Amino acid sequence: MQRLGGVLLFSLWASLAHASAPLSGDIIGDLRAMQTQLAEGAYDSVATRGAAQAERLAGGNASDRWASALYHQLAAGALARMEQPVAAADHLAKARQTRGVEAEQTMRWLKEEASLRRAAGQNDQAIALLSEWLASEQDPDVQWQLVRLLADEGEWEDAAERLEQAMAQVEKPSESQQALALVVLRRAGQGEQALGWLVEGLNRESDAEAWRQAAGLAQQAGQPGVAAGLWDTAWQLGKLEAPEDFWLLIELHRAGGTPARAAERLEQALERGDIERDERALRLLATSWQQARHVNHALSAWKTLAEHTQNAADWRQYGQLAYAWGEETQAEAALLEAARLGDEQASQWLARFD
């Protein structure tokens, strides 16, 4: 509200400088005195007197009507500072509806009223006002405000239409604008366009944050495969090098339908010594190959894991997979080891070989 009050206070100076009709010296002096009071924090006094003066002068000549509009504006500024956006917006509505006020000034008040309506949660009125503003002004900031308001109201198709105009007016959307655009496109049923927009412009020169953001937005869009591909490309380009980046790469491939790629990355890292050959890495390797249904790789990885952990459940899992994939010799040997380690289920499975 302090910000809105500041906007309204500044606008009064502009209004006086571009008068729609000449004002008497007494009126100018009174307006300036009230503006000083407003700056000093006498909000209630300014709101009360501004409203009274505006009403008193509303039915007069062109000069009186112009003064009435300016008193409405002062009252609006005071009420905005008092955190009463609805009342402030109502005064601005009266100011801009004053007969004889120049169109340029009317539009300034319209834009400020829209900000107050939005602050008050009166989204429908704010949308109507901003739409009227944009009918005569090319204003990228207002376009984005309107997109967000339409999204807040669930008007996804209208929001997508406005988004197209907003995107055409900015060279590079901010992070919050990109996130909003993605939500709007998804909810408007324009998923393909959203994904195309996500990756547009990415290249070798793009920094790590750009790649992270694109992958993150792809995840939000429900496209884990695209996210995995983007992250993998960034990894290969050397944009992402932190240990946590590597493990996220693995999880993205597993979630995105490319588990074999996850397994290959794990094997490469293990061979280079980039990661420790511990239970976590070996289990991820085994389950990734299993998810990819690469029989030989999966069974070899499960055997390696079981030998490392000497866990009966791991030997049984290895044996069950081998049996399911028709590798009965491996299955029997693995289940025998699991039974030796005390796994009762393995003993039951071994009955199948009698």
At residue 12, the pLDDT reads 61
- Cβ contact 89:123 at 8 Å: no
Q: Is the pLDDT of residue 7 over 60?
A: no
CB environment 189-212: b (16+ within 10 A), e (fewer): ebeeebbebbbeebeeeeeeebbb
Average confidence score pLDDT of the chain: 88
Per-residue pLDDT reduced to its tens digit, 119-142: 999 999 999 999 998 988 888 899
- Cβ contact 34:46 at 8 Å: yes
Q: Is 241 exposed, middle or buried (0-12, 13-18, 19+ CB in 10 A)?
A: exposed
What value does the mean pLDDT take over residues 82-89? 93
Instruction: Please state, in angstroms and rounded to a whole number, the distance separating the CA atoms of residues 218 and 312.
Output: 40
What value does the mean pLDDT take over residues 42-71? 94
At residue 71, the pLDDT reads 94
How big is the chain by its Cα radius of gyration, in Å? 34
At residue 174, the pLDDT reads 84
Q: Count the Cβ atoms, other than its own, within 10 Å of residue 176.
A: 10
Q: What percent of the chain clears pLDDT 70, i.e. is strictly above it?
A: 94
Per-residue pLDDT reduced to its tens digit, 220-245: 777 888 899 999 999 999 999 899 99
At residue 19, the pLDDT reads 59
Instruction: Please state, in angstroms and rounded to a whole number, the distance separating the CA atoms of residues 193 and 221.
Output: 11
Q: Is the pLDDT of residue 299 over 90?
A: yes
Q: Please, which pLDDT band fits residue 344 given cuts at 50, 70 and 90?
A: confident
Per-residue pLDDT reduced to its tens digit, 29-38: 999 899 889 9
- Cβ contact 139:147 at 8 Å: no
Q: Is the pLDDT of residue 5 over 50?
A: no
123's CB contacts (< 8 A; 6+ apart) are 117, 149, 152, 153
Tokens of 164: 């197209």
Per-residue pLDDT reduced to its tens digit, 176-209: 888 888 889 888 888 777 777 767 778 888 889 8
At residue 137, the pLDDT reads 82
What value does the mean pLDDT take over residues 281-287? 97
